[in-house]
């Protein structure tokens, strides 16, 4: 459902360029939204309810969309559970305390099949309706290279396909661009950039396995990468952790 | 929800190649399913509830999946209405009695933004879980060229992107192929091929604007193309029409 957003949002004037920003509520996508806003885009934030184990990351997405002045925040309902195949949507146990240096090798079992392809496809649909030529996605090829759909060659191929898929592309009115401002940044660089741009990281949620109050476990792959990033920047992570 | 299908389905043995077949319940996708079965694939039929005005085409899809011996038929719920922008999901009037020769010129207002991209993305997710390397889609570039995402160059770009998106593609285990067996056929040729392969066209539904009993209007673009096709083959359309 559309949620009207934020007194800090810019006027949605015809001369403001619109962008659809994929927003999970985690650290990377929140920084990506801040970058889109910093570059002057009127931001339309898009999240997904796709059978996650918990709703904390969607609550985080709504708070961050508001904090960073998105024009609208839409949560699209899709159900990937009927296809099975991943720890984030099935009842497989989330891996804990894996050595951080192992995380880049191989594809993690938390991989959701075709997830970014589905997410970008919905972003493309919304962009077409908004007559927006820009989509932002916070993929990263450095700290977490296990996902095939986070690689630059994948993003380029999606962009090429998207420009053949749409009315605007066919009619030559717009040239759709997929922006990946984080793709070559380390987690520490992402955090530093987010802090510069005023992201309130206490609102973000990264953990795959939070407790009932939404506090992070500190041990899953996502928590470990996040904590390592904050340690490298030299500040404590302001998000709540389980004692 | 998964629906177990049909006594005529083949055994889902490991040595049977699996294919995901996009199935709207119309004439083209039903013929496509028959072709996939004829080529020996264990067929997994995929339909979408995406904010259509009516449910008759989904009922048709379920009947055709059963008639043609699909292993499973999944109806995925997605909601494109929140993005707006098309006659099929908004409250814009469906155009009637447009001259058939005009239908190939320009993009019709019944275009749904990024629809095939979203549908193929879901098919890709299911194919990945099934370890299937084949997806069938009944797009056609002859009789209805107004849709940008029905052109061969679009399909080729999607296939290229898909092979970079998935675990199987990255690991070199499978080479995903998007099959478009109807792409160069006229509507009459599609009907003739479907009849050869035993498609019961009385079960299919094409109309954009049926009455409360699901009977076709006979005047929308889809009805006109369908009726013209049956006329060319020289047999009456067995589907029910309003008097």
Q: What is the ipTM of this complex?
A: 0.85
Cβ–Cβ of A153/B164 closer than 8 Å? yes
Over 60: is that where the pLDDT of A77 sits? yes
Give the distance from residue B82's alpha carbon to the nearest chain A alpha carbon, in angstroms.
7
A-chain residue closest to B112, CA distance: A125
Please give, rounded to a whole number of angstroms, the shortest distance from the CA of A118 to a CA of chain B: 5
In the prediction, which pLDDT does A79 show?
75
C-alpha triplet A186, A188, A191: angle, nearest 5°: 110
User: A223 vs chain B: nearest CA distance in angstroms?
Assistant: 23
The class that CATH gives domain B17-233 is alpha beta
Residue with tokens 């420009």: A163
Look at B74 and A82 and tell me if their CB atoms are within 8 Å.
yes
Kindly indicate the confidence band of residue A111, based on its pLDDT and cuts at 50, 70 and 90: low
Q: Which residues of chain B have pLDDT under 50?
A: 1-4, 7, 12-14, 87-88, 104-105, 107
Q: Mean pLDDT lowest for which of A26-35, A113-122, B195-204?
A: A113-122
Of B74, B107, B165, the CB nearest to A167: B107
CB atoms within 10 A of CB B241: 16
Give which of A150, A177, A162, A178 is closest to A125, Cα–Cα.
Answer: A162
CA distance B21 to B43: 6
User: Do A45 and A65 meet the contact criterion of CB atoms below 8 Å apart?
Assistant: yes
What is the predicted pLDDT for the residue at A150? 85
Which of B77, B158, B169 is closest, CB to CB, to A161?
B158
Query: For residue A87, what pLDDT is reported?
Result: 47
Contact criterion met (CB < 8 Å) for B125 and A113: yes
The alpha-carbon gap from A197 to the nearest alpha carbon of chain B, in Å, equals: 29
Helices marked H in B12-85: 27-38, 56-67
Question: What residues in B contact A83, CB-CB < 8 Å?
Answer: 74, 122, 125-126, 129
pTM: 0.87
Residue in chain B nearest A114 by alpha carbon: B125
Of A34-38, A139-143, B6-10, B133-137, least confident by mean pLDDT is B6-10
What are the chain A neighbours of B166 within 8 Å (beta carbons)? 113-114, 148-149
Give the model confidence (pLDDT) of A176-208 as tens digits.
999 999 999 999 999 999 999 999 999 999 998
Gap between the Cα atoms of A178 and A159, Å rounded: 6
In terms of pLDDT, which residue wins out, B225 or A85? B225
CA B106 to chain A, closest CA, distance in angstroms equals: 9
List the one residue out of B161, B138, B139 whose CA is nearest residue B150. Answer: B139
Q: Nearest-CA neighbor of A204 among A149, A150, A138, A142?
A: A138
| Residue A85: per-residue pLDDT | 59
As a whole number of Å, the end-to-end CA separation of chain B is 35
The whole-angstrom distance between A113's CA and the closest CA on chain B is 5
Which chain B residues are closer than 8 Å to A3 by Cβ? none
The pLDDT score that the predictor gives to residue B101 is: 57
CA–CA dist B32, B42 (Å, integer): 13
Domain ranges, ordered by start, for chain B: 17-233
Mutate to test the interface with A, among B4, B46, B113 (most CBs of A within 10 A): B113
| Vertex A157 angle, CA A151 and A162, to 5° | 125
The whole-number pLDDT of residue B70 equals 97
Report whether B111 contacts B147 (CB < 8 A).
yes
Q: Is B165 within 8 Å of A153 when comparing Cβ atoms? A: no
Determine the 3-state secondary structure of A109 from DSSP.
coil
Q: Which residues, in sequence order, are CB contacts of A172 under 8 Å at separation 6+?
A: none
Asked whether residue A105 carries a pLDDT value surpassing 90, the answer given is no
- Judged by CB atoms closer than 8 Å, whether chains meet at A118 and B126 is answered as no
Q: Which two tokens stand for residue A47?
A: 């999240």
* Alpha-carbon span B229 to B243, nearest angstrom: 20
Q: Which residues contact A173 (CB under 8 A, 6 or more apart)?
A: none
Residue A107: list chain B partners with CB under 8 A.
167, 170-171
User: Which of B73, B79, B82 should one mutate to test binding to chain A, selecting the residue with the greatest count of A CBs within 10 A?
Assistant: B82
The predicted structure's pLDDT at residue B83: 80
Chain A: residues touching B (Cβ < 8 Å): 1-2, 74, 76-80, 82-85, 107, 111-118, 121-122, 124-126, 128-129, 148-149, 151, 153-154, 157-158, 160-162, 164-167, 169-171
**Which residues of A fall within a CB distance of 8 Å from B162?**
117
pLDDT in tens, B181-198: 999 999 999 999 999 999
Q: Give A205→chain B minimum CA distance, Å.
A: 25
Contacts of B231 (CB under 8 A, 6+ apart): none
**CATH topology classification for A16-233:** Rossmann fold (3.40.50)
Lowest-confidence region among A62-76, A138-152, B117-131, B188-202: A138-152
The residue of chain A with its CA nearest to that of B167 is: A148
């Amino acid at each position: 459902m559309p949620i009207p957003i934020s007194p800090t949002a810019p006027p949605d004037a015809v001369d403001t360029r619109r962008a659809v920003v994929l927003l999970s509520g985690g650290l990377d996508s929140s920084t990506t939204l801040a970058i889109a806003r910093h570059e002057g885009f009127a931001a339309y934030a898009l999240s997904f309810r796709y059978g996650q184990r918990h709703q904390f990351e969607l609550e985080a997405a709504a708070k961050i969309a508001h904090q960073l002045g998105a024009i609208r925040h839409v949560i699209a309902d899709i159900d990937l559970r009927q296809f099975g195949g991943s720890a984030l949507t099935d009842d497989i146990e989330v891996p804990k305390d894996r050595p951080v240096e192992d995380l880049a090798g191989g594809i993690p079992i938390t991989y959701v099949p075709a997830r970014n392809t589905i997410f970008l496809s919905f972003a493309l649909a919304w962009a077409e309706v908004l007559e927006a030529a820009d989509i932002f996605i916070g993929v990263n090829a450095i700290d977490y290279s296990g996902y095939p759909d986070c690689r630059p060659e994948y993003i380029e191929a999606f962009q090429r396909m998207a420009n053949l898929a749409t009315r605007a592309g066919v009619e030559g009115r717009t040239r759709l661009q997929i922006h990946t401002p984080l793709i070559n940044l380390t987690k520490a660089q992402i955090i530093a950039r987010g802090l510069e741009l005023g992201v309130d990281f206490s609102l973000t949620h990264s953990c795959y396995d939070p407790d009932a109050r939404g506090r992070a476990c500190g041990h899953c792959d996502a928590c470990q990468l996040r904590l390592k990033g904050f340690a490298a920047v030299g500040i404590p992570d302001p998000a709540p952790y389980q004692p």
